[in-house]
Structure 1
Amino acid sequence: MGVWHIPDTEENRIRFRILPLSHTIPSPDGIEQIQKFKQVLRSKRYSENTITTYSEALKLFLVFYREKAIAEITNDDVVIYNNEYILKNNLSASYQNQIVNAIKLFFQTIRETKMLVDKIHRPKNAKTLPNVLSKEEIFRLIDLTTNIKHKTLLALIYSSGLRISEAINMKIIDIDSQRMLIHVKNAKGKKDRYTLLSTKVLELLREYYAIYKPKMFLFEGQHGEQYSSRSAQSVLQQSAKKAGITRPISLHTLRHSFATHLLESGTDLRYIQDLLGHSSPKTTMIYTHVTNTSLKKIINPFDM
C-alpha cells in the first residue's frame, strides 16, 4: 500500500499513459473566463464551496473544448459533451446536473455567445429514496462510539437533523440551553433556522466541553482549527463498523433518519420542513416514502 510522488512532466505522463499536461487545462481565454466567473459568483455571494464546485465543473467543460473559441460553443456542444464525456465515463446524473448548473451560470455572464441558456436540457432525475437507519441502529452506533467528542458529534447531527457543514460550523454560542434550541446560522441557501436540542445531547455536550474546552467552534481539531468533514465521515465509518452496519451510509444518513423517525412518531411534515431548513415542502415529502408507520397497518395478502 505504498504511495509515490513523481514530477508532473510531459515525459512521465507519456510513460504512465496519462493525458498530456496541455490537455488538462483550458485555453488561456478559458482560464481568464473562469477567473471572471468566480468573481461574478462571489459578487452574488455564493458560498466558496459552491464557487469551487461550479468553477471545477466549468473547467472540465472548457478543457473538453479547449480548441474551440468560447464564443463559438453552442447547445449542440453541450449534448456532445454529455455523450462523449459524462456518459462515456459513467458519471452520475447528479454530477451532470452540476455541470449544467455551472454552464448555465457561466454563459449568462458571457456577452458574445451562441449558447441559448434556456435551451440547455437537464438530465432526468433519478427518484432515489434516502438511506435510513432504524432507531436501534442509530443508538447502537452512538453507544459504541467511545471517544466523547466523536460520540457528541454523531449524537448532535442525528438529534438535531444537521448537515455536516452545519455541525462543523457551529459555535458554542449557538447552543441555547435555556430554550433547548440550536441556532443554525448561515446554512444552505444562506438561511438561519432553529432546530431541536435534546436533553440527553445537552448532557453529552457539557461532558464534552468540560474535557475539551473548545475556544471558538463547538468541534475543533487537534490544534484548535475547525473540525474537518472528512474526519467526521471517518468517525462515522469506524462507528458503523463497530455497530455491524454493513450497508453504505454517510453523515447525511443521520439527518435522513432524524426526519424519518420524527415523521413515524407523528410529527407534522410542516414542522419537519422547518427543522431541516427545506425551502420547499416537496423536498421534505420524500420522507413519506421511507416511513414504515403506515405500511405496518397494511396486512400482507400472503399472511391472510
Structure 2
Amino acid sequence: MVIAELHRPKNVKTLPNVLSKEETFKLIDLITNIKHKTLLALIYSSGLRISEAINMKIIDSDSQRMLIHVKNAKGKKDRYTLLSTKVLVLLKEYYTIYKPKTFLFEGQYGEQYSSRSAQSVLHKSAKKAGITKQITLHTLRHSFATHLLENGSDLRYIQDLLGHSSPKITMIYTRQQHIIEKHYQSIRYAANIFIFVLHN
C-alpha cells in the first residue's frame, strides 16, 4: 500500500468546558483574598487570557470609558475589552490595599504575578464551590464568551472583545449544546406564533 494513499484521521475538535453563570459567580465570591478575587473576576468579566491579565499595567484600565486596554496580545495586537463596574470597585479596593507599582498584579516581592499561582487559586476555589468539571483559567474566558452569546450579543462583537483574528475561532461557542437548545427554542417559539396566526 502506498503511504500517500492513507487517509489521515481528522483532528478531533472538542468543545471547551464552560461554567454556568451561577458556578462562575460562586467560584469568585468564595475567594476571600482581594487580590485573588480581583484577578479572577477581571479575567472572567473582560474575557482575558491569563497572560494578558498578568501583563496588565495600572494605566491599562480606563475607568472613564469603562474599558480595558489589552496591549501586545496574541498576534502582537492591541484591543479594548470591557471593564465591569463591579470589577472596578474590586480594583479600587485592591489597589488601596496592595498599591502595585509596575504590573497591576504583583507577587509577594513586587515581581510579576505568576500564572501558576493564579491557576492554584482557581482550583482551590473551584473545589470549595463544589465544581467537579476540569477547568483552567482559560475556562473563565470561554465562559465570558458563552454568557455573552446566551444574552444575545453579536458574534462579531464577541470576536472583537476576545481578540480573535477570525470569526471561525469565535464560532466554536455556537456549538455549545445549551446555545443550540436555546436557539431551537426561539425557532420553535416563532414557528408556533406563525402557526397560530395562520389559524386565526
TM range (shorter): 0.7 to 0.9
What aligned pairs does 1:26-65 form with structure 2 within 5 A after superposition?
none
Taking a change above 3 Å as real, the CA distance of residues 290 and 211 of structure 1, as seen in their structure-2 partners, is same
Q: What is residue 125 of structure 2 aligned with on the other side?
A: 239
The TM-score with structure 1 as length reference comes to 0.57
Query: Which structure has the higher relative contact order (CA within 8 Å, separation 6+)?
Result: 2
SS at match of 1:292: helix
Q: What is residue 124 of structure 1 aligned with on the other side?
A: 10
SS at match of 1:252: helix
Tell me which structure has the larger Cα radius of gyration: 1
The one-character-per-residue Cα deviations of 1:67-120 (angstroms, maximum 9, x if unpaired) are: xxxxxxxxx9xxxxxxxxxxxxxxxxxxxxxxxxxxxxxxxxxxxxxxxxxxxx
For residues 81 and 110 of structure 2, the distance between their equivalents in structure 1, rounded to whole angstroms, comes to 26
Structure 1 unaligned residues grouped into runs of 5+: 1-75, 77-120, 300-304
What aligned pairs does 1:6-45 form with structure 2 within 5 A after superposition?
none
Q: What is residue 194 of structure 2 aligned with on the other side?
A: none
Q: What is residue 166 of structure 1 aligned with on the other side?
A: 52
Match of 1:135 among 21, 35, 45: 21
Contact 1:214/1:220, CA 8 A, preserved across alignment: yes
SS at match of 1:183: strand
Whether 2:93 is the aligned partner of 1:207: answer yes
For residues 279 and 182 of structure 1, the distance between their equivalents in structure 2, rounded to whole angstroms, comes to 19
Taking a change above 3 Å as real, the CA distance of residues 123 and 169 of structure 1, as seen in their structure-2 partners, is farther
Matched residue type, 2:79: R
For residues 172 and 224 of structure 1, the distance between their equivalents in structure 2, rounded to whole angstroms, comes to 14
Contact 2:174/2:180, CA 8 A, preserved across alignment: no
Q: What is residue 267 of structure 1 aligned with on the other side?
A: 153
Match of 1:295 among 140, 158, 181: 181
**Identical counterparts, % of pairs:** 84
For residues 98 and 30 of structure 2, the distance between their equivalents in structure 1, rounded to whole angstroms, comes to 20
Once superposed, what is the RMSD of the aligned Cα atoms? 1.9
The one-character-per-residue Cα deviations of 1:107-157 (angstroms, maximum 9, x if unpaired) are: xxxxxxxxxxxxxx9873211001100000000000000100000000000
